Amino acid sequence: MPFAMSFSLLLCLTVVTVPFAHASSGENAHRPPGRAMAPGVIAAGLKSHDRALYIKSGWIRDPYICLAPDGYYYLTGTTPNPDDTAEAADPYNTGLGRKSIVGYHMQLWRSRDLVHWEHRGAPFSLLDGYWARKMPDAFKGKNRSHWRLWAPEVHFLNGRWHIVHTTPSPVGGGSNLAVTKGDAIHGPYSFPLGDLSRRRHDPSLFQDDDGTVYMLWANTFIAPLTEGMTGFAAEPLRIDPAGSRPGPDGKPISRIGHEGATIRKIGGKYVYFGTAWSTDRLRRGSYNLYYCTADQITGPYGRRQFAGRFIGHGTPFQDKAGRWWCTAFYNANVPPLTREQARGADLSKTAQTINEQGVTIVPLNVTIDTRGKVHIRAIDPDYANPGPDESQQFNLPPMTHGIDKEE
C-alpha cells in the first residue's frame, strides 16, 4: 500500500538522524536532578488541581499512566534497564545516540493515590516479544547495549493487559502488541497481530464505546483491529487536522506533529492528541501537545489546537475524582530551565524544558461549551501559554489564575 511505503521511508529517515543526536545534555549535564515533591505537597496539589506536580524522580521518557479497574494507577515509560548505574553518571542523558541509556525492559510502577509508588519490576522485555521468537538470530550474543524499548503503554481491555511499544533495534521497527493470559501483567504473552505489528512507530490503543479497539501509530495512521486482534478490520487511514500551518521551509504542514499520538473520547467527541516541537524543527524549542476533535474516529478532524507547553508525548488521564491531568517529562538538550527563565522566552535555539528528570503531571482544564465543542488546555500558566518560538498562531482565551476565562 502506498501509505505504508511512505511511512517506512519516513521512519527510516527518522532513525538515521538519531545516531547524530547528542546523548549527553551539555556542560551542566552532571548537575543532580531535584527531588520529587513531598507527599503532602503532592496530595494537596491533587486536590487543588491548579499546578504541575513533580510526583516521581528517576530517568524516564514518554511516561504513561492509566487507572485500572483494580483501583491502581499504573505507570510505565521509556527507561534504562533495571539497576543500570549510567543514570547517576549522566542524569540528563537525552536517550538519543550511541550513548543512550534507554534499555530493553519495560519497567512498571503502581500507586493507589498518585503519591506513593511501588516498583513492580520489569514484566516485559524485548526478549519476551514477538520478534525474539520470529527472528531469534537478531537476539543472539551478549552485547545488548544497542537494544532499545521505547514508549511502552499498558491498556487493560476485556479482562487482559495489552502492551504496545516501539523499538529501533535489534530488529528495526520491531514494535510489539503483547497480550497477557489473564488480569496480571506478566508473561507468557500472546502476539495476535504477528508480523502486522512491525513498523508501527509509537503505537497506541483506543477502545470505543462499542468495544472496537483501534490502533494508532506514527502521525498518524489508524485502523480498527479484528475481534481477536489478529489483523486490521479495515484498511489503515491517515488522519490529520483540518488546514495547515507554515513549516520552517515555508512549505505547509498538515500533520498534527511527528509522534506520540493518542485518542480520548470526551463529550461524545473524538479528541486526537499529537506531539511536536514548538518550532516544527527537530529538537528546537519546547516539546508540546496539540489536539483536534471530530464526530467520527476517522474524521474529518477540526483545526489543530494547543493543549500545553512542555507536555509533548504526555498521557491525558483522569484521576479517581474525574479530574484531568497530563504526564510530562524532561526532554531537552540542556538541564531544565527555571519557570522564570522559560516564561515568555524564545527557546528556539535548542531543545529546552522546565520539567525535571522524572514524572510530572500537569492539570488540564477540559470543558464542553454550549455548542458541544471540546476545549482542552493546561491550567498551570507556565504550561498553558505557547512561547514566542511557537510556529503556529493560536487564538487562545486569556488566563485567570490558570483557568480559561469564558468569553
Q: Where are the domains of the chain?
A: 2-404
Q: Which residues contact 256 (CB under 8 A, 6 or more apart)?
A: 219, 220, 240, 241, 272, 273, 274, 276, 290, 291, 292, 304
**Which CATH architecture group holds 2-404?**
5 Propeller (2.115)
C-alpha cell, 238: 491517515
- Please give the Cα distance from 83 to 58 (Å, whole number): 12
Residue 398: per-residue pLDDT: 62
Residue 22: per-residue pLDDT: 42
Edge-to-edge strand list for the sheet holding 305-308: 259-266, 269-277, 287-294, 305-308
Give the CA-trace dihedral at 273, 279, 282, 285, to 10 degrees: -100
Task: Tally the C-alpha atoms within 13 A of residue 405's C-alpha that lie toward its C-beta.
Answer: 7
Residue 356: per-residue pLDDT: 97
- Surface-to-core class of residue 401, CB atoms within 10 Å of its CB (0-12 exposed, 13-18 middle, 19+ buried): exposed
Residue 399: per-residue pLDDT: 58
CB-based contact 218:261 (threshold 8 Å): yes
What's the distance, Cα to Cα, between the start and end of the chain in Å? Answer: 47
Strands 374-378 and 245-246: unpaired
- In terms of Cα–Cα distance, which of 177, 256, 251, 253 is closest to 214? 177
Residues of the chain with pLDDT under 70: 1-30, 398-407
Angle, CA of 177, 259 and 100, to the nearest 5°: 80
- Surface-to-core class of residue 362, CB atoms within 10 Å of its CB (0-12 exposed, 13-18 middle, 19+ buried): buried
- Please give the Cα distance from 11 to 169 (Å, whole number): 13
Residue 24: per-residue pLDDT: 46
For residue 32, is the peptide bond before it cis, meaning its omega torsion is within 30 degrees of 0?
Answer: no
Residue 30: per-residue pLDDT: 56
Residue 21: per-residue pLDDT: 41
CB-based contact 261:274 (threshold 8 Å): yes
Cα dist from 138 to 51, 119, 141, 161, whole Å: 46, 30, 8, 27
Q: Which residues contact 177 (CB under 8 A, 6 or more apart)?
A: 130, 162, 163, 164, 191, 192, 193, 197, 203, 215, 229
Locus of grid cell 473524538: 270
